[in-house]
Amino acid sequence: MSKPLSQQTIQRLAFVRFLHAQGVAQSAQPEPMSAAAILSFQDAVEHFLLISADHLEVNLPSSMQFLQYWEKLQPKLPTGQVLPSKQALGRVNKLRVDLKHHGNIPSAHAIDQSKADVTTFFTDAARMIFDIDFETVDMADLVAHPDVARLLREARAHFESDRIVFAMAGLTLAFDELLSHYTGRREGWGRSPFTFGDRLPIFRPDRTERDSPVSRQLRALTTATMKLRQAMKVIALGIDYARYVHFTVMSPDLSWYPNGRITFSVTNMSKAPTADDYQQARLFVIESALQAARADAILERLDAHVPEDIDYDIEEWTWAEPRDSSD
């Protein structure tokens, strides 16, 4: 019987799943960008093997060849079982060496085959070593902000119940919560540096002025300003704006009410979301959370250094006399 998994092991496995999902997404890109999938697949497998060695309490040498993992882990595996996919992953490793060290771009067929081989390995090896289903490893464990992680898990529950539209709405809520975390008010400082101005109300002219040139201009300026502010928030947090636009196209529109009720509409969506749409959207939200986490240090510093209400008299400062250029 496999020993229980520690929280650290679960988080490390979540990172492996993240790398694997990233590789799957990269494999769908046009050539030659799809070649980057090979690097992600190889990194995911090597991370998994290192975690396996720690879990099985196998001491590894400081340097070893990739295929030696199969030899080193074998004595700690259940009797009669062999770590799978050695030959297949040897091919993936060769593709990675050819790409990284020799500049050889793998073919589309080789990338698709690598995706299938790596997925099969994780499916079989996770059950053998950790006694878990690899698909149940939740990448939400990588997200530091608890409310975002909770909404990601709730969205996944909807997805597993075959309620994909509700799952996509949940991902939209998770992303909005992520932005709110970084753009909300900071105690003692007021606005977050990622807010870009005060809240802008929707422009609603009187009925008699609704179609006047001034009203149309103000309405257009208000709409443009709101979209620009949203784009600035996304870009300032290091989130890929093009992928954000793709995410909004795939996701339903949300509406909030004063009583706390939230509804969503699918009228903005050109087609019903698929399972693949959900997986891409979920990966985007998690990657966005990891990118935005770099701003945590900035917000922590703001929260820790509340400005004091002190006025300084400029006359108290001592200014150095300019030096004579002839000196």
The model's pLDDT over 99-135, given as tens digits with 9 standing for 90+, comes to 999 999 999 999 999 999 999 999 999 999 999 999 8
Are 151 and 273 found together in one domain?
yes
- Residue-level pLDDT at 225: 87
Residue 30 in any domain: the answer is yes
* Percentage of the residues of the chain whose pLDDT score is greater than 90: 58
Name the pLDDT band for 315 (thresholds 50, 70, 90).
low
- Residue-level pLDDT at 1: 46
Are 161 and 297 found together in one domain?
yes
Name the pLDDT band for 254 (thresholds 50, 70, 90).
confident
- Residue-level pLDDT at 86: 95
Query: Is the pLDDT confidence value at 208 over 70?
Result: no
3-state secondary structure (DSSP) of residue 210: coil
The model's pLDDT over 5-20, given as tens digits with 9 standing for 90+, comes to 888 999 999 999 999 9
Query: Is the pLDDT confidence value at 201 over 80?
Result: no
3-state secondary structure (DSSP) of residue 254: strand
Query: Is the pLDDT confidence value at 187 over 90?
Result: no
Are 112 and 253 found together in one domain?
no
DSSP class of 275: H
Are 124 and 153 found together in one domain?
no
The model's pLDDT over 213-252, given as tens digits with 9 standing for 90+, comes to 878 788 888 888 889 989 999 999 999 999 999 999 888 8
Are 106 and 64 found together in one domain?
yes
Strands 262-265 and 253-256: antiparallel
3-state secondary structure (DSSP) of residue 190: strand
What mean pLDDT comes out for the span 274-296?
91
- Residue-level pLDDT at 178: 94
Are 275 and 147 found together in one domain?
yes
What's phi and psi for 258, nearest 5 deg?
-55, -30
Are 164 and 276 found together in one domain?
yes
Q: Report the CATH number at residue 14.
A: 1.20.120
**Mean pLDDT score of the chain:** 87
Query: Is the pLDDT confidence value at 193 over 70?
Result: yes
The residue type found at 250 is M
Query: Is the pLDDT confidence value at 317 over 60?
Result: no
Query: Tokens in use for 7?
Result: 């929280």
pTM of the predicted model as reported, rounded to 2 decimal places? 0.75
Are 90 and 156 found together in one domain?
no
Residue 47 in any domain: the answer is yes
Name the pLDDT band for 304 (thresholds 50, 70, 90).
confident
DSSP 3-state helix, strand, coil percentages of the chain (rounded to 5)?
A: 65, 5, 35
Q: Which of 59-63, 78-82, 145-149, 305-309 has the lowest mean pLDDT?
A: 305-309
- Residue-level pLDDT at 4: 81
Residue 231 in any domain: the answer is no
Are 178 and 285 found together in one domain?
yes
- Residue-level pLDDT at 2: 60
Residue 14 in any domain: the answer is yes
- Residue-level pLDDT at 255: 85
Total number of domains in the chain? 2
Are 82 and 118 found together in one domain?
yes
Higher pLDDT: 304 or 113? It is 113
Residue 199 in any domain: the answer is no
DSSP class of 303: H
Are 86 and 171 found together in one domain?
no
Are 152 and 297 found together in one domain?
yes
Range of the domain at 91: 7-137
Q: Please name which of 302, 285, 53 lies closest in space to residue 175, comparing C-alpha atoms.
A: 285
The model's pLDDT over 46-81, given as tens digits with 9 standing for 90+, comes to 999 999 999 999 999 888 899 999 999 999 998 889
Residue 186 in any domain: the answer is yes
Query: Is the pLDDT confidence value at 163 over 70?
Result: yes
Residues with Cβ within 8 Å of 170's Cβ and at least 6 positions away in sequence, in order, are: 151, 152, 154, 155, 158
Query: Tokens in use for 94?
Result: 């060769």
- Residue-level pLDDT at 213: 82
- Residue-level pLDDT at 312: 56
- Residue-level pLDDT at 321: 59
Query: Is the pLDDT confidence value at 267 over 80?
Result: no
- Residue-level pLDDT at 152: 95
Residue 18 in any domain: the answer is yes
Residue 132 in any domain: the answer is yes
